[in-house]
Amino acid sequence: MATPPLQTVLAAIDVGTNAVRLELARPDADGALETLHQERDPIRPGEGVFASGVMPEETADRLLSTLRRYAALCRRHKARVRAVATSAMRDARNQQEIVQRVRDEAGLNLEVVSGKEEARLICLGVLHRKPPNVRSLLVDIGGGSTEVVLATGERPDELWSLPMGSVRLTEMFDAAGKVTPKQLRLMRSYVEEQLRKAIPERLPGLPRMALGSSGTISAVVGFAASEGTAHASLRQLQNTVEALAEMTPERRRKRFDPRRADIIVAGATILERTARHLGVESIAAVNRGLRDGLLVDLLYRQDETREDHSLADAAVAMGRRLFFDEKHARQVTRLALTLFDELAALHNLPLSARPYLETAALLHDVGNAVSYERHHKHSYYLIHHGDIPGLADRERELVARVARYHQRSPPELNHSGMQGLSAAEARLVRKLATLLRIANALDGSHHQPIKEMRATNGRDAVALHLKARQPVDLELWTAEREVVLFRRVFGKRLTFHVGR
């Protein structure tokens, strides 16, 4: 792997339900991450959000004060930053107002990530550098949600995010104080119901031991496990839930950090029922999680030599849910990426733009699930609002715009669909959409007649050399309609040459 310069500092900011955390790290010569600085502020950003649906102004003020300090530290270290907010902010109706305040007052771009993106990042953090053939099962219990991941190596195979967490469950069942047997039965039944709705029971091929990555899990496993071990059996977890429920609030506060003590019964209940539902024998606590995943994600994003197919896999999974024409989507993607790779000197876009084109090409026609008429606009809507692990909010917006312009109105700078983009974003969308339009035209019949394509970049023209397995009259007629746009965008003629 190509290693970034040693002076590069990466920063991860995690706005959770219970606390806000910062970690600064630097990659060493081997690509491992050396922690430079950590902070944790238990300001409870999610306090009251699950009941009211709004983050109170005083909580937002505390959050802004913390993030201003974190931003100053990041600037001092000249760090590359990724800041994310999870379940509490996902549920807050005033999230956009708070995100705007963070941008204006702290100078940070705070992403409100989806549950599946949160799960992907946790997976990346916990399983970084795991051998590629090792299967792992991962559970993370946050304040507002629980993430479950089945992975091979460090790549997720399945991601689940459930809207139940230790704070949310505590508020729902008033479980911060004394917990009665009836309350415990109701909590267990509720957790079981959520699990049944989301995750198939006793999935085949699961490891016998699951990894638990959150502070709540560490606290529960630490209480439940036999002395000298870092894992707890299902029986020990069941006994722990009942023991914690029987404790008075005062005893729980003596055993745990006071803020953790208030939510520990709910967290233990979620962990025990999740382990039971999955059919694992034990849970092992690990001390890595979302922040580590953010740092690894930043590390991978700046390594342009690294191949990562997880984003394409997520796009294909979304396409299949929407019953897309997979053969057509893969053919268009293959042709579009050929154009991107062979015309790099012409489009002059960074390699980091390639996954945007790949994702847009795979999903350009998903709008057909709504209606064939105006399906390009429906594709934009579905991608814009979709859950595509591996894409930040702004990146998903750019992908949606590229897909929206795969047909009909060209991506001209004054078109209404280009509004809201910076000049650099508009240039990127315009170039990628033009390549996508040509690739889409070259499979106009949806029958994949082109088996091979090469692109040569001459002084005045770009020539596409096509090898076809059957007549391509429809493809050439459709592609010729894109020649004028290609010349406007790239300043060169486009010609087509067909052989067998």
Cα 65 from Cα 463, distance rounded (Å): 57
Residues of the chain with pLDDT > 90, as a percent, come to: 88
Cα 241 from Cα 229, distance rounded (Å): 19
Res 5 pLDDT > 50: no
Cα 49 from Cα 47, distance rounded (Å): 6
Tell whether 26 and 127 lie within a shared domain. no
Looking at residue 3, what is its pLDDT? 47
Average the pLDDT over 88-106 and give the result.
96
Sign of the four-CA dihedral 243, 245, 251, 255: positive
Name residue, tokens 């198939």.
Answer: 200
Tell whether 154 and 287 lie within a shared domain. yes
Res 453 pLDDT > 90: yes
| 190 falls within a domain | yes
Half-sphere exposure of 28 (CA within 13 A, CB side): 6
Rg, Å, the chain Cα set: 25
Looking at residue 259, what is its pLDDT? 81
Cα 52 from Cα 36, distance rounded (Å): 38
Tell whether 279 and 314 lie within a shared domain. no
Tell whether 332 and 356 lie within a shared domain. yes
Sign of the four-CA dihedral 410, 442, 457, 309: positive
Q: Which domain holds residue 73?
A: 10-113
Label the pairing between strands 135-141 and 209-212: parallel
Average the pLDDT over 88-93 and give the result.
96
**The tokens of 109 are what?**
């771009």
| 462 falls within a domain | no
The 10 Å CB-count burial string (b at 16+, else e) for 176-213 is: beebeeebbeebbebbeebbeeebeeeeeeeeebbbbb
Q: What is the CATH number of the domain that holds 369?
A: 1.10.3210.10
At 500, the pLDDT band (50, 70, 90 cuts) reads confident
Cα 282 from Cα 229, distance rounded (Å): 12
CB 9 within 8 A of CB 78: yes
Q: What is the CATH number of the domain that holds 166?
A: 3.30.420.150
Res 113 pLDDT > 80: yes
Label the pairing between strands 209-212 and 231-233: unpaired
On average, the pLDDT of the chain sits at: 94
Tell whether 225 and 151 lie within a shared domain. yes
Model confidence pLDDT, tens digit, residues 273-295? 999 999 999 999 999 999 999 99
| 458 falls within a domain | no
**The tokens of 198 are what?**
């989301």
Tell whether 340 and 417 lie within a shared domain. yes
Model confidence pLDDT, tens digit, residues 424-448? 999 999 999 999 999 999 999 999 9
Looking at residue 220, what is its pLDDT? 97
Among residues 113, 139, 170, the one where a domain terminates is 113
Model confidence pLDDT, tens digit, residues 37-57? 999 999 999 988 998 999 999
Looking at residue 6, what is its pLDDT? 46
pTM for the whole structure: 0.84
Tell whether 216 and 189 lie within a shared domain. yes
Q: In terms of residues, how long is the chain? A: 500
Taking residue 477's Cβ as centre, other Cβ atoms within 10 Å add up to 11
CB 17 within 8 A of CB 165: yes
Cα 66 from Cα 106, distance rounded (Å): 9
Q: What is the CATH number of the domain that holds 31?
A: 3.30.420.40
Average the pLDDT over 19-28 and give the result.
95
Tell whether 134 and 239 lie within a shared domain. yes
Tell whether 75 and 211 lie within a shared domain. no
Beta-bridge partner residues of 462: 457, 494
| 391 falls within a domain | yes
Looking at residue 4, what is its pLDDT? 46
| 84 falls within a domain | yes
Please state the φ and ψ torsions of residue 435, each to the nearest 5 degrees: -65, -40
Number of domains in the chain: 3
Res 345 pLDDT > 60: yes
Average the pLDDT over 176-188 and give the result.
96
| 495 falls within a domain | no
Among residues 96, 113, 130, the one where a domain terminates is 113
Looking at residue 190, what is its pLDDT? 98
Res 412 pLDDT > 80: yes
Tell whether 143 and 247 lie within a shared domain. yes
| 45 falls within a domain | yes
**The tokens of 296 are what?**
């690894």
| 390 falls within a domain | yes
Residues of the chain with pLDDT > 70, as a percent, come to: 98
Tell whether 121 and 169 lie within a shared domain. yes
Of 348, 362, 488, 495, the closest CA to residue 424 belongs to 348
Tell whether 137 and 279 lie within a shared domain. yes
Average the pLDDT over 328-342 and give the result.
97
